[in-house]
Amino acid sequence: MEPTTNRAAWDQAYARVESALRGANVGACADLLQLEEVRVHFLGRKSGLTELLKSLKDLSIDDKKEAGPKVQALKSAFEAALEARKAVLEEAGDAAALAKDAIDLTLPSVRPPRGRLHPLTTTLHGIAGIFSRMGYSWAEGPYAEDEYHNFTALNMPDDHPARDAQDTFYLKDVKRLLRTHTSNVQIRELEKPGAKDKPLRVVCPGRVFRHEQIDATHSAVFHQVEGLVVDQNVGFADLKGHLQTFLQELLGSETKTRFRPSYFPFTEPSTEVDVKCFFCPGTGCPSCKHTGWIEILGAGVVNPKVLSGAGWDPEKWSGFAFGIGVERVAMLLHGVRDLRDFYTNDLRFLKQFDEDLV
């Protein structure tokens, strides 16, 4: 069979294809999409190169032997150039993707905001902590209490004004009330069979409730740390020693104290304890109501009726007790003028307090 295309015409076609391939400038392709377009254009079914390969069949056997490898080599060289460019673009693409999603492992992490203890909590812990180091244990008891443990056992007779519904929250259903102090816990500690006839040192911190008109210094819900010591031959001198030590731990070793006579039905004698005003040099200021002294707690020698009522022999055992208002101490320590600031949970207020007293 005679070839339909002569060798000279094929060589001219080859030269055109080779020149076109060189002009393709594979190395200038900017991305993989453009590279693929170039590949399809120069190697696809309708490309000059494909036409050239197809037309090999029209050459003589001898011409084919020479032209075949020549055009295959041209194709291979172009494919190799495409592959090389592809590898370069892929690597650059990976690098760009990596740079885009890069994580800086040396950056500090985002920390969740840390909570803190409420200033009333740190004050309560601070007070109880001092007594703990003086050998007192910690006891808790019920908020909803019967009249006996809240009033009767404390030598507060049935007609005592504090029992009035104007001062006390009575619970409707159950012959109970919300405790007006934490003394109910001390009574329950005295009553425990295991505690009888052994020296006792206990603090009873907790929430108490009074039917108060609320203002800058009064709240219907507030906190107390009460304390009770029972032993043999314990008296007012021990009370003075313990409370002076406590106040000097709380407010500083230079703290001056003053014990004024007072009255509580559950103690006799009773006292109110003042500290020298630490806002003014004794000259008088609003904090000490111009007296030079700040009232900080109430205390007394336990009334023998309270001991005997709880089953202790007052001929053998004696003791002292005290009650400290946590809100009052917190206000003094932090210079807070309005008690209600402790309960409204304004973070701008709460964030001012560090946890020194914990």
Confirm if 191 and 310 have CB atoms less than 8 A apart.
yes
* Given 10, 246, 266, 342, the residue binding ligand 2NL (CB under 6 A): 266
CB of 314 to ligand 2NL, least distance (A): 12
* List 264, 293, 317, 342, residue binding ligand 2NL (CB under 6 A): 264
Rule CB under 6 A: say whether 267 interacts with ligand 2NL: yes
Residue 302 in the binding site for ligand 2NL (CB under 6 A)? yes
Order of all β-strands in the sheet with 170-171: 144-145, 176-178, 170-171
Question: Is residue 317 at the binding interface for ligand 2NL, with CB under 6 A as the rule?
Answer: no
**Nearest distance from C-beta of residue 224 to ligand 2NL, angstroms:** 6
Q: Residues 205, 206, 300, 309: which binds ligand 2NL (CB under 6 A)?
A: 300
User: What value does the CA radius of gyration of the chain take, rounded to a whole number of Å?
Assistant: 47
Q: Which residue is nearest to ligand 2NL (CB)?
A: 323
**Strand 200-209 vs strand 318-325: parallel, antiparallel, or unpaired?**
unpaired
Sheet holding 293-302, edge to edge: 137-138, 200-209, 221-231, 318-325, 293-302, 267-276, 257-264
The residue among 267 and 318 lying less far from ligand 2NL, judged by its C-beta, is: 267
Q: Is 119 in the site for ligand 2NL (CB under 6 A)?
A: no
The C-alpha atoms of residue 272 and residue 289 are separated, in whole angstroms, by: 16
Least distance from ligand 2NL to the Cβ atom of residue 297, Å: 6
Give the Cα separation of 275 and 12 in Å (integer).
Answer: 116
- In angstroms, rounded to a whole number, what is the distance separating the alpha carbons of residues 304 and 212? 31
Chosen residue from 187, 208, 288, 332 binding ligand 2NL by CB under 6 A? 187
The window from 14-22, 44-52, 247-255, 264-272 that contacts ligand 2NL (CB under 6 A) reads: 264-272
| DSSP string computed for 107-131 | SPPPPPPP----HHHHHHHHHHHHH
Please choose, from the candidates 331, 326, 271, the residue with its C-alpha nearest in 3D space to the C-alpha of residue 300.
271
Candidate residues 150, 168, 186, 318; the one interacting with ligand 2NL per rule CB under 6 A: 186
Q: Which contacts (CB < 8 Å, 24+ apart) does range 99-108 have? A: none
Contact call for residue 202 and ligand 2NL (CB under 6 A): no
Out of 183, 309, 327, 330, the residue judged to bind ligand 2NL by CB under 6 A:
183
Residues facing 204 on adjacent strands: 226
Extract the tokens encoding 258.
């003053």
3-state secondary structure at position 158: coil
* Length of the chain counted residue by residue: 358
- DSSP result, 88-106: HHHHHHHHHHHHHT---TT
Q: Does residue 323 bind ligand 2NL (CB under 6 A)?
A: yes
Q: How far is the CB of 348 from ligand 2NL (least distance, A)?
A: 30
Eight-state DSSP code of residue 21: H
Q: Decide if residue 180 touches ligand 2NL (CB under 6 A).
A: no
Q: Which stretch binds ligand 2NL (CB under 6 A): 213-221, 261-269, 280-288, 330-338?
A: 261-269
Residue 306 binds ligand 2NL, judged by CB under 6 A = yes
Q: Does 55 bind ligand 2NL (CB under 6 A)?
A: no
Instruction: Say whether residue 29 binds ligand 2NL (CB under 6 A).
Output: no
Q: Of the two residues 39 and 149, which places its CB atom closer to ligand 2NL in the complex?
A: 149
* Minimum gap (Å) between residue 351 Cβ and ligand 2NL: 29
Please state the closest distance from residue 140 (CB atom) to ligand 2NL, in A. Answer: 14
Pick from 81, 18, 68: nearest CA to 47: 18
298 interacts with ligand 2NL by CB under 6 A: yes
Positions touching ligand 2NL (CB under 6 A) are 183, 186-187, 226, 228, 264, 266-267, 298-300, 302, 306, 321-325
